[in-house]
Chain A
Amino acid sequence: MLLNEFLFLGALLFCTGVYGVLARKNGVLVLMSVELILNAVNINLIAFGAFRDTIAGQVFALFVIAIAAAEVGVGLAIVLLIYRNRRSIDLTDVDLMKG
């Protein structure tokens, strides 16, 4: 199979995730879009690992999966705290640092 088939799929998932992060205002949906981006990166890591015939791609993908689990746990805790303080997780309202 062509390496580019996998890399194009990764690029499509990455750009879909970028669109979601920029266009969504619900905090949970933004975190879901971040997961799309991380999965695109993992596809690239494993495809390049298979291309170069090394196991390092898979090892790094496993590390990324572990970090993603930690990130979702802390991220959802922060979203929950925002909800508890403001009764809403609309991220356009969280603009205290806007100049």
Chain B
Amino acid sequence: MPSLLAAAHLDVAQNVAFGFLAASMAVAAIRVVTTKNIVHAALYLVVVLAGVAGIYLLLAAEFTAVVQIIVYIGAIVVLFLFGIMLTRAPLGRTANLDNNQRPLALAVALFLLGLLVYVLVDAFHSAHVDALHRPLRVGTTALVGNAIFQTYVVPFEAVSVLLLAALVGAVVIARRD
């Protein structure tokens, strides 16, 4: 009885999809920061970014998921690959990608993870997200458009000026003279 399952917040299909996405994202994210091959790090980053887009879909944010794929996987990862190429990074396995603070960095990351998990369990142990249970509507894209061009129009224009400034700045910094 699907309606009973949905009403009881069990969400079997969503939880299975979430578990699959979360497991592949966790493995890929750890490989990004530990792999010895810099091109593999960029390709593992693609797995993480695609997984994040899947998580957005689970949260019924379909427009943001598409933007994530276009901007992150389509533009930013390509920019990273250009960066790897232009800095003539060693393309095979190299052992010297890490500095000598690895134990300290691991301790900081694990401490931060423990702290965050403790705080989140304490604060949100019984909070439910039911974004997919609402009465069926066409989607949230129209709402996002209205919000950007009405409530958030000033920050939106500021972001467009910022992008122009970043474009000019990157050209000025990187050009040969």
Task: Say what secondary structure dominates the interface of chain A.
Answer: helix
B124-A4 in contact (CB<8A): yes
Per the bound structure, the CA–CA distance linking A52 and B40 in Å amounts to: 38
Sort chain A's interface into a size bin: 35 or more
Per the bound structure, the CA–CA distance linking A91 and B105 in Å amounts to: 16
Contacts of B88 in A (CB 8 A): 83
Per the bound structure, the CA–CA distance linking A61 and B84 in Å amounts to: 27
Sort chain B's interface into a size bin: 35 or more
Listed in ascending order, the chain A residues whose CB lies under 8 Å from chain B are 1-9, 11-20, 22-29, 31-33, 35-36, 39, 42-43, 46-47, 49-51, 53, 55-59, 61-63, 65-74, 76-81, 83-84, 89-92
Listed in ascending order, the chain B residues whose CB lies under 8 Å from chain A are 9, 11, 14-15, 18, 22, 25-26, 29-30, 32-33, 38, 41-42, 45, 48-49, 52, 55-56, 58-61, 63-64, 67-68, 71-72, 75-76, 79-80, 82-84, 86-89, 96-99, 101-102, 104-106, 108-110, 112-113, 116-117, 120-121, 124-125, 127-131, 140, 143-144, 147-148, 151-152, 155-156, 159, 162-163, 165-167, 169-171, 173-174, 176
